[in-house]
Structures are given as structure tokens and as C-alpha cells.
Amino acid sequence: MLGWICVLASWKSIEHKVKEFMIALLVMQVTMLGVFCALDLFLFYIFWETMLIPMYLIIGVWGGNNRIYAAFKFFLYTLAGSVLFLVGIIVLYFQAGETFDILALMEGNYSPTVQIWVFLAFFVAFAVKVPMFPFHTWLPDAHVEAPTAGSIILAGVLLKMGAYGFLRFSLPMLPYASQTLSMFVAVVSVIAIVYGGYLALAQDDLKRLVAYSSISHMGFVTLGLFVLNIHGLEGGILQMFNHGITTGALFLFVGLIYERTHSRLIADYGGLTKVAPVFATFLCIFVLSSMALPGTNSFIGELLVLVGAFGYDKPIAVLAVVGAMLSAAYLLGMYRKVALGAVENPLVQEAWDMDAREISSFVVLAVFVIWVGLSPKPFIDIMHVSAEHLLEQVLSRAP
């Protein structure tokens, strides 16, 4: 779904080497599908690494003025994490009887020491991709410099690969380490929630604000996965989906408004409701979703995570609530400055409202915001059996 939205988002913004851009986007999607479909750990690693190349090109060739720096930073951070990931894979290969089969590796009985060290190696690789504090510094630069399609695919799918790694490998393969280090991961997650919220609150650039909010929201995902109860796990998985929809839509908004005004500074806006009411309406929907207003998709995911967190550790849950309150502060503040008030900037005065191509992209995403928010049961039912089975795998092999 996000693939064709990326194509529509690039309709006007990509003006040179269009064919090459579409090839890079297609290769990117193929490698990401490989990551999510691979049943062989080495094949997973190949797709994991290959994905870096098209994303590097998308940022480095079609990005903003500082694109080379951002592309190198993204590439080096992810590559450094992947080195430790490869070491962990090799250790598991020999410990499990020289096999890369993921199902066989899940049945392996590894010593506590091996589990701890392999978990930490995997943790660095997945934490860089999510990204978790303190491995997050590549993300704002990558988002700010990436073209709109790059930001959408980065927020919508790429970050989820890290969380998927925790779900697919760390939890079922390394249950002793997952339980032993769950508090460590939960603490790092809640730091990301609060820290990302405070940084977003201080931003004056629209795209950088959404990027830091992404760090905060992905903190809810990893927190949900490691509180090790059914509510948290289902909330974390649902929030992976919700974040892709909502944050992808916000990056699409920033890209489209930049095409009109050539500015991402919040101070340059104001009165968008007067000149582009449809634009402002969709922005309102996704801002409310991002701040987890009841009736939107993110509310269900964050509520489940918080319920799970309160059952796991109350101080951590309280800090997560503080992070959720911060998201309301910076998102409502941004909407007030961008959409409300008087039109003072001539560039905003000349901005045009959405056309049919742009509306179609937002409508699809808005449908999921409302659908999940008002009727989450079908989505939760899809994951419930798998979540229960995963939780049983982890908890039945208690330390």
C-alpha cells in the first residue's frame, strides 16, 4: 500500500533520473519483502544488508542539500550494527548444529551465556534500525534529507524491520536472555519515548519534528514487545502498523506542503485552513491519530502497551504516559501554528489545495486510522494466536 503512495508522492517532486528512482524504489520493496518472508537466517541477513543500497541511493541521489552526509550516516550506522548481527548469526549457526533454518534455530537449547551475548549482538543491530536511544541520531538527518517517498518508506516499513527482528529472533530464539534483559530494553524504550518527545517539542522544522516523534512512538513498540504479557505484545505489534500509517501520512503532508511553499519551518506557516481547508482537515486527522486520541488507531495500540506496561512495572508505565502527554503538546502546538491563525506569509497565501491524486493517498490512510480506532477487533484477532504462541515460547523456557 505504501509503495504506490510513494509513487504518487514522487509524481512532481522527482524531476531527474525518474526511471532510476523508480528502480531503486522497486528494489527497496523487493528486499524488504525478502526480509519479512525469509525462513533462512542467512538469507534474511542478505536481504537485510541489500536493503541498504537502494535506501542509500534514494537519500544520496534524490535527497536535499545535505544528502551525502545523511546517506553516509545512515549507511554506516546500519552497517556497524549489522556486523554484530552477523557475529551473532555465526554463533547460533555453530551452536544449533550448523544450520541457518529459522525454525530449527528456534528449537535450539542455548546456554544462558550464549543467549546473553547473542541477544546483545542482535540488540545493537535491531536497535539501530528501530531506532532506539542512543542509536537514533542517524534518523532525523536521514528523514530531513530524504525525498518524500524515502521518508514514507523509511518510517512506514524500514523502522519496523528492527522491531520485527526482536519478534522473529530475539524473543523466540533467546527466551532466557529476553526475560533477563527485558527490564533493560523497557528502560531504554521509555527513555526513547520521553527523550524523543522533548526533542520534538523543541523543533522548528516540520520534518525534523515528525522524525523525532517517530523515535518516541517506536519506543512504545519496543516497550510493548518486552513487557512480556499479551496486552503489551499485541499493542506493540498493532503500534508497528499504526506508526507506519500515521507517520507515513505526516511525512507525505510535509512533502506536499513543501512543494507549494518550499519551506519546512513552522514559523513560515499559519492560516492553512483558510487557503487549503482539505489539506488542513487531513492534517488534523493524522495529528489526532499521532497523539493517540480516542477513536483513532494509535489510541488502541498505545492503550494496550500502557496496560501491559502497568502490569509489568508501574514507574516505567508512568514515564510512558508522560511521553504520550508530550506528544499531545508538540503535535497540537504544531497544528496551531501551521493551520490556524492569520495568513501572514505570501507563500502560504499562494498555496493551492489538494488535487485528486493527493486526496486519494490521504483517504486510504485515513480509512485505516478510523477503522482501527473504531473497530480494532479484526486486527487484534489476526495477531492474537501468534502473539499467545510467541509469549508461551518465551515464558515456558523461563530462566
Q: pLDDT truncated to tens, each residue of the chain (399 aa)?
A: 666 677 776 666 667 787 888 888 888 888 988 988 888 888 999 999 898 888 888 888 887 788 888 888 888 888 888 889 999 999 988 888 788 888 888 887 888 899 999 999 999 999 998 888 888 888 888 888 888 888 888 887 888 888 999 998 888 888 899 899 999 999 999 999 999 999 999 888 888 999 999 999 999 999 999 999 999 999 999 999 999 899 989 988 888 888 878 888 888 887 888 888 888 899 999 999 999 899 999 999 999 999 999 989 899 999 999 999 999 999 998 999 888 877 777 777 777 677 787 888 888 899 999 999 998 999 899 988 888 888 888 887 655
pLDDT at 398: 54
CA dihedral 44, 48, 49, 50 (to 10 degrees): 90
Single-letter residue type at 174: L
What is residue 2's predicted lDDT score, i.e. its pLDDT? 66
Please count the helices (runs of H) and the strands (runs of E) in the chain: 22, 0
Torsion angle of C-alpha atoms 261, 266, 270, 276, degrees rounded to 10: 50
Predicted pLDDT of residue 4: 67
Residues whose CB is less than 8 angstroms from the CB of residue 38 and which lie 6 or more positions away in sequence, other chains included: 44, 47, 102
Amino acid 147: pLDDT:
83
CA distance 187 to 176: 18
Domain boundary assignment for the chain: 1-180, 212-399
